Homo-oligomer: A and B are copies of this chain.
Amino acid sequence: MNKHGGYYGAKQDVIDFSVNINPLGVSKKLEQTIVDGIKQIHKYPEIDGKSTIEYIANHYNLKNDELVLGNGAIDLIYLFARALKPKKVLVIQPTFNEYKRAFKLIGSKIYEYILNTDKFELDVKELINYMHELKPDVVVICNPNNPTGTYHDICKMNEILEAVKEINSILFVDESFIEFSNKESLIKYVSSYPLFILRSMTKFFAVPGLRLGFGVSNKNIIAKMNEYKEPWSVNYLSLISVPVLLENQEYINKTLDWYKAEKEYVYDNLKELEAIKVYKSSTNFHLCKVKESNAELLKDKLLKKGIYIRTCEDFSGLDNTFFRLALKKHEDNEKLICALKETARGEIDEHNTCDRWS
């Protein structure tokens, strides 16, 4: 299996900045919904989650046959791969490493278009030229992207959509982190372009333990996926949670307020640290780069202070100088900033100015 964040989540004495989950946690309403739902777990859930699909379709102004539910968003990456069986897949890197695994497992040949670590900016013209040359069956973009936090704007995405249409390809867009960003989703384009959009309930609504995601596409792609879908793949407690999550405007507003305040606080403070470069992010985590030395050493030092970070050496296009920091509650973010400052300062005091975290 691939490396992922979240391994220190269970330890009470470690603040886990490796896992990109809304720290506001589970709302009282959701807790009560699940408690009530326990009375029904002796029954099979709907075999394909029909009622939940109808709810989501209505919420996002989609048709029922444009939606598929997943046992977590990740389930749908694998289902998409199995159902569509693309020969050539182009992945915009660096990005979440499950796309590569999912497509490799079904025998796809993976091509990577690696963005420059300077800003991870997408040169759309160059990408489209490459697409015309390569003619991939599927192009994968995560937007906003994990782990860089970069958001490719709607104009760029539109150009890519036109290009996939021209070359008879499908654009797979993972929007798992879009709710934080207040950015435009591509959902409205699913009926007019060859497009699959992956959405997760896990991150914004803080329910990774439940397993809940959905996919949006045209009815032909969804029908193809349903041919391969396993019955009862989404558990009952996840199915009944959807309306409670999507309708909880108070939770959504609270999250967006937290996000806005903490994003600014953390970014501004990270920017002041000379020893690291922090990248502008459009979502709830920041990619950073240790200017000298490496992130593994920093991870070890921070772990001694009860802070766990996600090093990023396993992402295509990144190396052992990169690490990712999720936004947490204010007091935790304060501790992070403080620990980072101390760590750098400590090294300076030890007269090791050249290699601040070595």
Among listed A229-237, A261-269, A305-313, A338-346, interface-contacting one: A229-237
Q: In whole angstroms, how far apart are the Cα atoms of A58 and B37 in the complex?
A: 31
**CB proximity to B under 8 Å, residues A219-253:** 226-233, 235-238
Q: In whole angstroms, how far apart are the Cα atoms of A351 and B243 in the complex?
A: 54
Report the interface size class on chain A.
35 or more
Residue from B71, B74, B232, B237 within 8 A of A208 (CB atoms): B232
Closest CB in chain B relative to A37 CB, distance in Å: 8
Does A100 sit within 8 A of B, measured CB to CB?
Answer: no
Q: In whole angstroms, how far apart are the Cα atoms of A75 and B37 in the complex?
A: 23
Q: State whether B207 touches A42 (Cβ < 8 A).
A: yes
Does A260 sit within 8 A of B, measured CB to CB?
Answer: no
Q: Quick one: closest B residue to A98, CB to CB?
A: B231
Q: In whole angstroms, how far apart are the Cα atoms of A1 and B82 in the complex?
A: 16
Given the contacts A1-B47, A235-B238, A209 and B42 also touching, CB distance less than 8 Å:
yes
Given the contacts A43-B6, A74-B230, A233-B71, A38 and B31 also touching, CB distance less than 8 Å:
yes
Closest CB in chain B relative to A324 CB, distance in Å: 15
- The binding surface of chain A is classed by DSSP as loop
Copies of this protein chain in the complex? 2
Given the contacts A71-B233, A72-B232, A41 and B210 also touching, CB distance less than 8 Å:
yes
What does the 1/0 interface line of A26-59 toward B look like (CB < 8 Å)?
1000010011011111111101100000000000
B residues in contact with A208, CB < 8 Å: 41-45, 232, 236
Q: State whether B207 touches A78 (Cβ < 8 A).
A: no
B residues in contact with A1, CB < 8 Å: 47-48, 226, 229, 231
Q: State whether A209 touches B47 (Cβ < 8 A).
A: no
Does A211 sit within 8 A of B, measured CB to CB?
Answer: yes
B residues in contact with A19, CB < 8 Å: 43-44
Closest CB in chain B relative to A300 CB, distance in Å: 22
B residues in contact with A39, CB < 8 Å: 26
Given the contacts A25-B42, A38-B31, A43-B10, A209 and B236 also touching, CB distance less than 8 Å:
yes
Interchain residue pairs with CB less than 8 A apart (19): A1-B47, A1-B48, A1-B229, A6-B43, A6-B44, A21-B42, A22-B42, A25-B42, A35-B35, A41-B210, A42-B208, A43-B208, A45-B208, A45-B211, A71-B235, A72-B232, A74-B232, A105-B228, A210-B236
User: 14 additional contacts, CB 8 Å, given A71-B235, A209-B235?
Assistant: A4-B44, A9-B43, A9-B44, A21-B44, A26-B38, A41-B207, A41-B208, A42-B208, A42-B209, A71-B230, A71-B233, A82-B82, A208-B236, A209-B236
Which 4 A-B residue pairings sit nearest by Cβ, starting from the closest?
A41-B209, A209-B236, A42-B206, A44-B208
